A and B are shown apart, each in its own frame.
Chain A
C-alpha cells in the first residue's frame, strides 16, 4: 500500500496486548494518532489532482444545496402552486422565466402544478442521502466482512465468500426493483435494497488484501505478542485496507445514486419525497418529451450526471493512490 506509514504501524506494535489502566489512555491516543495520520496523508494525496478537486467542489456544492434546501427553494417541492378545473390533475404547466418573463417560477411548473426549481433543489437531498448512506454501509459492511473472512480463513471464509458469490449472481437493478416492490416504495427501502447487494465487491477485494496482509511480519508479531483478533483486525489490518475501502465507498456513491434514479424512474420511487429520478418519471408520464418541455426533464439528469461523475472521479483519484502504476 502506497500510503502506509511504516513507523507508526510498528510503533503501535510495541504495546499491543497491554491492557492495564493508565497505559490504556496512552494506547487510545496512539491509535487516534495513527488513524489521523493515515487519513491526513490520504487526503493530501487525493487533493493533489485537479479533477478530484473539481469533483469534491461539485459534491460540496450539492451538499450545501441539500442542507440549505429550505432557504434556497422558493416553494415546497410537493405543494401544488395552483388548482386546475378538475381540482386533481392540471394537465398544463406554467412556462419558465426565460420564456415567459411574467412567470413567477424559475423553471416553470410541472403538469401536476409543482415548482420544478424547488423540486430540483430538494432532489439533491434524496440523491445525497442515498449516495452517502449507501457508501458508508457498503464500505463498512464490505470491509468488516472482507477482513473477517480474510483474517480467519477456513470455514468462516468459505461461508462468507459463498454468500458473496450468491450475491454476485443477482442482477443489481432487477433485485432492487423486486425488493422495493416487496418492502414498499420508500427511500429507506431503496437504500436498504442497494446496500444488500453492493457490499459484495468491497468484501471480495478487502478479503484478498487481508489474505496477504495476515501473512506479513507485523501481523505475526502482533499475534506472538498476544494481541486479540479484534485488536489485530482493527489496529493492524484495517488501516492498511482503508484506501481500498474508501475507493469502493466513492464508487458506491455513484452506483447507488444511479440505482435510485433508475428505480424511481420505473415508478417505484418514494411517493412522498422528490428525487431526480421521480422528476424524470413524472415528466415522462406526462409526455413532457412530446411537448418539448425540456426544462422539466433536462436539469434533473444533468444533476444526476454531475454527482455521479464526481463520485467516479474521486474513486479514480483514490485508485491512483492505491495503485501508483496507474499514474
Chain B
C-alpha cells in the first residue's frame, strides 16, 4: 500500500472513531439516571416554565430525534448550552481549554527535556548505581498518584511555607486579554507548583523509553566504529547514540501528550486550576450534561488526533516503515 492511500485510510478511520466516540457518549449521557431538569429548574418554578425549559433543551424528544440533532450540531462543533449557566458549551470550552494547554505544555516540555537527558545518561551508564537510583526514582514518580504529590506540595509549600498559592490562576479579576494575563508574574507564580508536579510525573516515561532505546543503539556496530575513529565519549553519547535513539521518543511523546491532556482531570482538581479536566468533573457532578459531553469530546479528540499524528510521524521519520 502506498503512503498516500495509507494516509487516506487513516483519515477515514479518524472520522469513524470520532463518530463512534460521539455516539457512545450521546447514549451514555441520555441513559444517565437522575432527572437532568431538576438541576436547571428550581422548585419554585411553575410547571409551565419548567416545561418550557425541557422543550427548549429538547429533553423530551424521542431518542433518535435527539441523536440526529446531536450529530448535526456536533459537525458544527455545537454542543448546546450549559444547563447550569446557560452559556454555550463552545464558549465554556474556549474559556478553559487554553489554561489546560498552558499547564500541560509547560509541564511536558520540562519533563521531556529532563527525561530524555537523564534517559541518555542512564542508558549510557548502564549497570551503575546511578542508573539503578534514577530508574527507581522514575518508577516511584510514576507510582505515586499525581494528585497526592500535589496535595503534599500544597501542604508543605502552600499551607506550611506559604510560598505558593493554594489554588487557581490568580488572574480572574484582571484586565486585558488572556494572552496578556498569562505573562503576568501572578499567573506564572500559580503555574509553578502544578507544572512542577506534573513534570515530575511525566518525566519517568521518556526517561525509561530513552534508556532502553539507548541500550539498543549502543549495541550496534556504528558505535564501535565511532570509538575506533577516536571520538570522545561525549560526542558519541549525544551526537551519535542519542540522535539515533530519539525515534521512539517522538512518537511516544505525541501519544503521551494526548493522554496527558486527557489525564488533566486530577491535577487541575487538586490545584483548582480552571482547566477543561476540572470543568468536566464539575459538570459531571452537577449533571450538566452538555458541558460534560463537550469537555469530554475535547479530551477524547485530543487523544484521537495525537494518536493519528503519531502514526503519520512514525512513517515520516522512519523510512523503513512499510504500510500494510
Residues of A within 8 A of B (CB): 51, 162, 165-166, 168-175, 177-179, 181-182, 184, 254, 258, 261-262, 265-268, 280, 284, 289-290, 292, 294, 297-298, 301, 304-305, 308-309, 312-313, 316, 325-326
Contacts and interface: CB of A to CB of B under 8 A. Distances in A.
Given A174-B262, A262-B265, A266-B269, A181 B32 contact: yes
B285 to A, nearest CB: 6
A174 B299 contact: yes
A298 B152 contact: yes
Given A174-B296, A289-B159, A312-B143, A182 B148 contact: no
Contacts of A308: 143-145
A95 to B, nearest CB: 17
B147 A178 contact: no
Contacts, number: 134
Contact of B154 (A182, A267, A289, A325): A289
Contacts of B155: 289, 292, 294, 297
Contacts of A268: 284-285
Contacts of B33: 182, 184
Given A182-B31, A289-B158, A301-B145, A177 B265 contact: yes
A301 B151 contact: yes
Contacts of A266: 265-266, 269, 281, 285
B212 A262 contact: no
Contact of B159 (A174, A265, A280, A290): A290
Given A280-B148, A294-B155, A305 B263 contact: no
Given A178-B292, A312-B139, A173 B262 contact: yes
B277 A174 contact: yes
Contacts of B29: 178, 182
A173 B265 contact: yes
A326 B215 contact: yes
A250 B136 CA distance: 17
B159 to A, nearest CB: 5
Given A254-B143, A280-B151, A309-B143, A169 B158 contact: no
A304 B32 contact: no
A309 to B, nearest CB: 4
Interface of B: 13, 16-17, 20-21, 25, 28-29, 31-33, 136, 139-140, 142-145, 147-148, 151-152, 154-155, 158-160, 166, 212, 215-216, 259, 261-263, 265-266, 269-270, 277, 280-281, 284-285, 287, 292, 296, 299-300, 303-304, 307
Contacts of A165: 13, 17
Contact of A304 (B148, B270, B285): B148
A167 B160 CA distance: 42
A128 to B, nearest CB: 16
A309 B135 CA distance: 12
Contact of B303 (A169, A290, A292, A326): A169
A305 B280 contact: no
Contacts of B300: 169-171, 174
A305 B143 contact: yes
Contacts of B270: 284
25 contacts: A166-B20, A168-B303, A169-B300, A169-B303, A169-B307, A171-B259, A171-B261, A171-B262, A171-B263, A172-B259, A173-B262, A173-B265, A174-B265, A181-B285, A181-B287, A182-B29, A184-B33, A254-B143, A265-B147, A266-B265, A267-B285, A268-B284, A280-B147, A301-B148, A326-B212
- Which 6 residue pairs are nearest across A and B when measured between Cβ atoms? A171-B262, A309-B143, A301-B148, A305-B144, A308-B143, A169-B304
A19 B17 CA distance: 45
Given A169-B17, A267-B285, A301 B265 contact: no
Nearest to B278: A266
A267 B216 CA distance: 44
A169 B216 CA distance: 30
Contact of A169 (B21, B166, B287): B21
Contacts of A290: 159, 166
Nearest to A265: B147
Contacts of B263: 171-173
Contact of A325 (B21, B28, B215): B215
A268 B123 CA distance: 41
**A179, A289, A325: most-surrounded residue (chain B CB, <10 A):** A289
Nearest to A316: B139
